[in-house]
A and B are shown apart, each in its own frame.
Chain A
Amino acid sequence: MSEKQSKFHGLLFLFFFITGMILSVWVVLRNGWWLPELASDRETIDKIFVTIFIIAGILFILSELSLSFFVLKYSGDPNRRAFYLPGNTKKEILWSILPGTLVVIILEISAEFLGGASLWGRIYGEVPKDAFLVEITGEQFAWNVRYPGPDGKFGKTDPKLISTDNPLGIDISDEAAKDDIVFPAGQGILYLPLNRPVVFLIRSKDVIHSPYLPNFRVKQDAVPGMTTRTWFVPKKEGEFELACAELCGLGHYRMKLPVVVEPAEKVEEWLREQTPAADLYY
């Protein structure tokens, strides 16, 4: 240690983090950059998010400020020696393990005990019996939407039957298929009933897609060769957006499906007005 270290770097660290934190808070509040308005029953996700945000925020501020403060306070001086902490005493081991344990306990509590695990179980568990079913099938770069019709059952599909007229390959010889209502890719919207459980059956015709409804806290990959499922309850009327969240090709960024939530009766009425598959595919 030959020369005295300037306080410049310590001050700059401190200045950077303090102004940075204040500026970020100001910019974020001013622009309202936050989770999109919640429109479903998945408020638990928001609750856990906010809890972790507060804990992580405090830990972030504490650790960055102590880092900056240490750099400022302890920058070197040739007339001083570093404080000697002898290696590996029991105390030292205890002290180093303690904060790790605390962090994990705090995180586990916020993640699991605020209802995270039970929400997960609910999303992937039994679907309510009176649920409103919709099938969403991704293809490059739009979504096919199918409603089961009055019988509440989706008819069989067969990839061999897929054509420009029958984009999902619906097998019209199947009784359950006859009343299905199909909106080919790019021509439909997602009409959802308010306050009624909605089940998405999610499929893909080509590559992996992932329907993502930011306002509903819903995202589930569409995996070719299988049907994935998720369910939620829309809690707000209005117009929303469904985007694709899994890279699916050059049009990934524009694979949009408009979403409209209206009272259940209105949705039912609208569905009754649509042409069933039997009248479209012979």
Chain B
Amino acid sequence: MSVEHAAVEVHHKESFLTKYIFSTDHKTIARQYLITGIIWGVIGMILSWFMRLQLAYPNQPMPFLEKILGRWAEGGILKPEFYVALITMHGTIMVFFLLTAGLSGTFSNYLIPLQIGARDMAFPVLNMLSYWVFFAASVVMLISFFVQTGPAGAGWTMYPPLSAIKSAIPGADVGATLWLISMGLFIVSSLLGALNYITTTLNYRTKGMSMWRLPITVWGMFVTAILGLLSFPVLLAGAVMLIFDREFGTSFFVPGGLVVGGQPVPHEGGNPILWQHLFWFLGHPEVYIVLLPAVSLVGEILATNARKPLFAYKVSVGALIGIGALSMIVWGHHMYVSGMNPILGEVFVITTLAISFPTAILIFNYLVTIWRGNLRLTPGMLFALGFLGLFIPGALTGAFLATAPVDIQLHDTYFVVAHFHFTMATAAAFGMFAGVYHWFPKMFGRMMNDKLGKIHFWGTFIGVYLIFFPMFFQGIAGVPRRYYSFTEYNFTSQFVGLNKFITIAAFVAGATQLIFLFNFFWSMFKGPKADKNPWKANTLEWQTDSPPPHGNWGPELPVVYRGPYEYSVPGAEEDYIPQTVPIKVEAK
């Protein structure tokens, strides 16, 4: 596992351009991903505010909306086609741009080389390309907001024929083409990233860093990368096929004999369900591509701040791998009522319920990790605990949706909206926040403000519950998701009042994020300087400077002698023993 050849070129001169823009340094690339991700997060959140305003005050003119949105809110009333575009873009941005690129891009890039004791990624130039292709994807997606027919508007799942026939909805026009191109670029970017993460983890571990000594974070990122590499190409194929259906007259997904808006559609012989299989073959692993990095960051932060070894480390790693493997064979649970063969439905019930096995193990192990610990409640730790607090209701409600007959009732209702916002959306966001607070000192060499971090945590945690918990009951009562307004049906109109409450909560929780933004950017320049190892942690990244120099380590690579979680070992002087401490020191 020798990587000394990389050490030779550590100290070459860097211009501003190669240091901050077209950098091949994994640490800079990670920070680029983080800041781009934060920008996307803010955009995604603002989009959700427009949706919430509409749901709270349906058909009430709000003149300021017209000032902001122009033709999309003539007379101050949001247009339904723009509402559909909002849900589409909110989902796409949050799932892919924030919680995939922002999360994996930041922490896989930052932590893998540092935690395995490497100087950089295996392929630094590919790594740089990965960010810049993602940047291009971002630009294309942003441009789609400004085209005449508006951004893509067929749901983030882009089910054809709605997404394939341009006259079906304004959002199926140029906006959808741009969406598909952007996603194509995005997939290329994440494949380049995944290749790097896998190769680096396998080949660039420093001396003594066996696979069973890897911090759980690296395991999480590694499994995530494999998932991405296996599933993303399928969506890429689907996106290309959909582009062909839209632009070049093929009929992969559009059957014959359709009449849209009184006009016959010149397609023949396609099948819309094919897209659903291709989409969810990525789409479900994607949930875990979002979740696993968050879960593994949380595990690391819990152990470090509980001052206790991660409970049943090997079983937890096994659970991560198990979740990853099973996630490839559960996609059909999104399609119980789609018209696919019902026998398949029963198969997917079994695989889906099986995934609760590794998930329950992992959560239990995390709870035991903090049990009888000596908890240090840093903002990072609070967000890690908050992750558990949000993930638990999310995971448990998965059991309802996994059960095909119950899913008949709950499918495509607000129950699903609440479920995935708890399990993967806000839980992963909490994992990401936890990671930012925890590794900020290493990334930027300065500490974030502790008090502001804690206020941010409580505002967000309570806010998330107030926003999404009531949605479970909206869903149980049958309210379908993606509805522009709740006013049309008796069984939905009872919730117009509750919607006002949720909207207020969304604005308050959203405003709380300003505290984070201020803390983040202010601390980057003005925060107190951070020590090498402010959290007294064991893993390798804390044994080098904050921030680490180009090349990460001095002339010598670190050597690893022990596992990552030797906290509070009886007899040891301190309550932590870094991985670089030779075994004999501890022997009596």
Contact = CB atoms under 8 A, between A and B. Distances in A.
The interface size bin for chain B is 35 or more
A205 interface: yes
Interface in A153-198: 158-160, 162, 164
Contact of B364 (A76, A100, A119): A100
A250 B536 CA distance: 55
Interface in A93-116: 93, 95-97, 99-101, 103-104, 107-108, 110-112, 116
B49 interface: no
A119 to B, nearest CB: 5
Given A45-B409, A243-B489, A107 B376 contact: no
A101 to B, nearest CB: 7
A49 B406 contact: yes
B361 A100 contact: yes
A225 B256 contact: yes
A223 B160 CA distance: 10
A104 B397 CA distance: 14
Given A83-B372, A220-B337, A256-B489, A120 B345 contact: yes
Nearest to B358: A100
A63 interface: yes
Contact of A111 (B155, B402, B485): B402
B356 A5 contact: no
A262 interface: no
B403 A1 contact: no
B211 interface: no
A160 B265 CA distance: 11
A48 B401 CA distance: 11
A120 B272 contact: no
A67 B388 CA distance: 8
Interface residues of A, number: 105
A31 to B, nearest CB: 8
B69 interface: no
Given A76-B307, A159-B258, A225-B256, A88 B312 contact: yes
B552 to A, nearest CB: 27
A251 interface: yes
Interface stretch (B191-199, B346-354, B423-431): B346-354
Contacts of B306: 74, 82
Contacts of B159: 207-208, 246-247
B444 to A, nearest CB: 22
Nearest to A242: B489
Given A88-B312, A225-B255, A66 B358 contact: no
B409 A82 contact: no
A261 to B, nearest CB: 15
B404 A116 contact: yes
A24 B257 CA distance: 50
A117 B255 contact: no
A14 B354 CA distance: 31
B412 A85 contact: no
A176 B382 CA distance: 68
Interface in B347-379: 349, 353-354, 356-361, 363-365, 367-368, 370-377
B555 interface: no
A67 B389 contact: yes
A220 B368 CA distance: 43
Interface of B: 79-81, 83-84, 153-155, 159, 161-162, 165, 168-170, 254-262, 264-265, 270-273, 306-309, 311-316, 319, 337-339, 342, 345-346, 349, 353-354, 356-361, 363-365, 367-368, 370-377, 382, 385, 388-389, 392-393, 396-397, 399-400, 402-406, 408-409, 411-413, 454, 458, 461-462, 465, 469, 473-474, 476-478, 480, 482-485, 488-492, 494, 536, 563, 565, 567-570, 575
13 contacts: A1-B575, A13-B389, A53-B400, A76-B307, A85-B311, A87-B309, A92-B311, A92-B315, A120-B404, A159-B259, A206-B161, A248-B162, A249-B84
Given A87-B565, A120-B345, A250-B484, 7 more contacts: A36-B477, A107-B353, A112-B349, A123-B342, A206-B161, A243-B480, A253-B488
